[in-house]
A = this chain, B = another copy of it.
Amino acid sequence: MSKEKLRVIPLGGLGEIGKNMMLLEYGDDIIAVDAGVMFPDEEMLGVDLVIPDMTYLREKAEKFRGIAVTHGHEDHIGALPYVLGEFEAPVYASRLTHGLIRVKLRESKGLKDAPIEEIRPGERIRMGKFDVEFFRVCHSIPDAMGVAIRTPVGTVIHTGDFKFDHTPVDGRASDLAKLASFGSEGVALLMSDSTYAEVQGFTPSEQLVGETMLRVIGQAEGRVIVATFASLISRVQQIAEAAIKHNRRIAIVGRSMVENVQMALKLGYLKFPEGTLARIDEVEMLPPNRVVIITTGAQGEPTSALVRMANEDHREVALREGDTVIISATPIPGNETLVHKTVDNLLRLGVKVINDRMDTVHVHGHAAQEELKTMISLTKPKHFVPIHGEYRHLVAHAAIAKSLGISEKRTFIMEDGDVLELDHEHAHRHGRVQSGPIYVDGLGRWETESVVLRDRRMLSKDGIVVVFLVVDSRTSRPVRKPEIVSYGFLEEEESQVLTQAKGLIIETLSHDMGQVEIPFVQTKVKEALGQFFYKATKRRPMIIPVAMGL
């Protein structure tokens, strides 16, 4: 038996622990499960994306054997362009996930031919000393998988995002038998999705949504517009089937929805009878009760199709009284206000709105408490690490594990960068590696304490004033009137404040100070203006004096 230990290291993201990347390291081999991004919150001004800090991987790049991808959502595949741009590593993914990754990499220079291998559930792949077996799980996107990783110290199961839908729309249920067989074999460590660990009971089957769609579309007298996530392929299938049963044709609107539907049709994940799909100008010719429009914007995203329609700002679709809009989603925390505004604007147009609080027009894709218990009971792990959730979700999941007899000593609530070490018998925490979010802004890559973000926060508060001053090098007196520009500080009717400020600068520098240092002149100006501006406006802009001696 080797003395070597297995090291497990979650890397993230924002809040959700181990969501974006999970590293496993043993001896000379490192593999990753997933490589995803997070989206910036409103405090990260101007940031495009957030990726995990991969410093640790960078230091051990020669050990990196590849990435097992669980499913095709952005928070699991979105960082692949960054990872593959830097590291040489094969990627393993299911058919649909593979398709989504290819689309993504096509947009990245030099990654068109990156090594992405298509994997079917049940396949086993050798990655260094790791033997990785993929198994099927259900989630809100088809073709999701978890991984069972046989390591020299035992089997590690990573569930990916999952739920146990026994009647999934695509007929492909989570592989409970496989999970049970891992359990009989012996599982050293289970890492399981905690997103809905606070929710009691079972997550309902996607089928329920189909039944609601059938009823609601049947009752609607005019057009029906359904907004949902572009990746919810099974949802789109169900909406389409309900439409067809009620003799309606379907138009797809919104860039990401169009792209995903095309891809899913091509790969066979969506199946419509001939003549079902129509262009938006074609359905405009049909009677309203012969039309369903499937579109994006269920989260109230400002540039999405539904939001444009709600604002009467969509190029192709003008909503009107008689239309029914179904919002087939739950607002992601932080998006509530955007969704509410969209609903308000839809109602202002006289449209009928149905959301998930009014009817079963959405179910989510994560396991609730009884399913989490089932996962633990099937796999019977020796050690347990709750993943994919914010800290409170991990705490709730740990309590569930405890109720099933997995003691607190065998459960590890980890944060991103924490290291768990396992040998054949034991698991214990072993320090931390560098981790945390990396903010991507254009070509920039910034850490949490970024000066750029701090400055943007300051600029966004009270704006900026820049003063340009040419002074006589011998007397430090201005040789001409200073120039002042200000942004985000004064409204037009307050422009006299700047005129007064110019006078104040000249006054401040009016007596011959002799040959002084430029920084001293700048500080004097800054102090005088700071006091003056606060008195005049009760605001405190950034003040940047730039003086030049001539």
Contact for A544 among B353, B461, B462, B466, CB less than 8 A: B466
Whether B442 and A537, one on each chain, are in contact in the complex, defined by CB atoms closer than 8 angstroms, is: yes
Instruction: Give A80 Cβ to nearest chain B Cβ, in Å.
Output: 19
Asked whether A336 is an interface residue with its Cβ less than 8 Å from the other chain, the reply is yes
- Is B544 a contact partner of A443 (Cβ separation < 8 A)? no
Give the complex CA separation of A42 and B546 in angstroms: 32
Q: With an 8 A cutoff between CB atoms, is A474 at the interface?
A: no
* A443 / chain B contacts, CB cutoff of 8 Å: 536-539
A487 at the interface (CB under 8 A from B): yes
Contacting pair B334 A392 (CB below 8 A): no
- Which of A23-31, A272-280, A451-459 is near enough to bind chain B? A451-459
Contacts of A487 in B (CB 8 A): 455-456, 458-459, 464, 542, 544
A-B interface, 6 closest residue pairs, ranked by CB to CB distance from nearest: A442-B538, A460-B460, A344-B391, A456-B488, A442-B539, A455-B488
Min CB distance A119 to B, Å, is 34
Tell me, rounded to whole Å, the shortest Cβ–Cβ distance linking A291 to chain B.
24
Are the C-beta atoms of B468 and A546 separated by less than 8 Å?
yes
Whether the pair A343, B392 counts as a contact (CB closer than 8 A) is yes
Picked from B446, B459, B480, B494, the residue with its CB within 8 Å of the CB of A548 is B480
| Complex: A341 Cα to B395 Cα, angstroms | 14
A268 at the interface (CB under 8 A from B): no
Interchain CB contact under 8 A, A444 and B539: yes
- Is A45 engaged at the interface, CB distance under 8 Å to the other chain? yes
Most buried by B among A452, A490, A542, A546: A452
CB distance from A247 to the nearest CB of B (A): 30
* A530 adjacent to chain B (CB < 8 Å): no
> Which of B340, B458, B489, B536 is the one whose CB lies under 8 Å from A390?
B340
Bound Cα distance from A285 to B448, whole angstroms: 39
- Kindly identify which residue among B333, B464, B536, B539 contacts A340, using a CB–CB cutoff of 8 Å: B333
In chain A between 326 and 358, which residues have their CB closer than 8 angstroms to a CB of chain B?
333-334, 336-337, 340-341, 343-345, 347-348, 353, 357
Q: Tell me the residues in window 482-516 of chain A with beta carbons closer than 8 Å to chain B beta carbons.
A: 483, 485, 487-492, 494
| Closest beta carbon of chain B to A33's beta carbon, Å | 23
Looking at chain A's contact residues, the main secondary structure is: mixed
- A90 sits at the interface (CB 8 A): no
* A244 at the binding interface (Cβ < 8 Å): no
Residues of B within 8 A of A453 (CB): 488
Determine if A407 is an interface residue (Cβ-Cβ < 8 Å): no
Does any Cβ of B come within 8 Å of A450's Cβ? Answer: yes
- 16 additional A-B residue pairs with CB within 8 Å, beyond A452-B491, A468-B548: A46-B463, A333-B337, A333-B340, A343-B391, A343-B392, A347-B391, A451-B492, A456-B459, A459-B460, A464-B464, A464-B487, A466-B485, A468-B483, A470-B470, A470-B548, A483-B546
Residues of chain B contacted by A353 (CB below 8 angstroms): 392
- The residue of chain B having its C-beta at the shortest distance from the C-beta of A549 within the complex is B480
Known contacts A344-B391, A488-B455, A466 near B466 by CB under 8 Å: yes
A121 to chain B: which residues have CB within 8 Å? none
Chain B residue nearest to A441 (CB atoms) is: B539
- Inter-chain CA distance A538–B546, complex, in Å, is 27
Q: What's the Cα separation between A441 and B395 when bound, in Å?
A: 42
Q: Is the CB of A444 within 8 A of B336?
A: no
| Residue in A46, A348, A489 with the greatest tally of chain B CB atoms within 10 Å | A46
Alpha-carbon distance between A443 and B198 when the two chains are bound, in angstroms? 46
> What residues on B are CB-neighbors of A548 within 8 Å?
468, 470, 480, 483
- Copies of this chain present in the complex amount to 2
Q: Report how far A343 CA is from B344 CA in the complex, Å.
A: 31
A41 at the interface (CB under 8 A from B): yes
* Interface residue from B455, B463, B483, B492 paired with A456 (Cβ < 8 Å): B463
B42 engages A42 (CB within 8 Å): yes
Q: List 15 A-B contacts (CB under 8 A).
A: A45-B461, A46-B463, A46-B488, A344-B390, A347-B391, A442-B538, A443-B539, A444-B491, A444-B539, A452-B490, A455-B463, A456-B487, A466-B466, A466-B544, A480-B548
Structural contact, A463 and B468, CB atoms closer than 8 A: no
Complex Cα distance, B453 from A492, in Å, reads 12
Q: Give the CA-CA distance A490 to B450 in the complex, in Å.
A: 10
Give A466 to B543 CA distance when docked, in angstroms: 12
Cβ of A322 within 8 Å of any chain B Cβ, yes or no, is no
A441 proximity list for chain B (CB < 8 A): 462, 539
Q: Is the CB of A46 within 8 A of B444?
A: no
Which residues does chain B contribute within 8 Å of A334, judged by CB atoms?
336-337
A413-454 vs B, Cβ < 8 Å mask (1 yes, 0 no): 000000000000000000000000000011110100011110
A46 touches B392 (CB 8 A): no
Question: Please, which residue of chain B has its CB at the minimum distance from the CB of A333?
Answer: B336
Cβ contacts A339-381/B at 8 Å (1 or 0 each): 0110111011000010001000000000000000000000000
The residue in chain B whose Cβ has the minimal distance to the Cβ of A541 is: B46
Once the chains are docked, how many angstroms separate the CA of A444 from the CA of B443? 37
Shortest Cβ gap from A470 to chain B (Å): 6
Residues of B with C-beta under 8 A to A470? 470, 548, 550
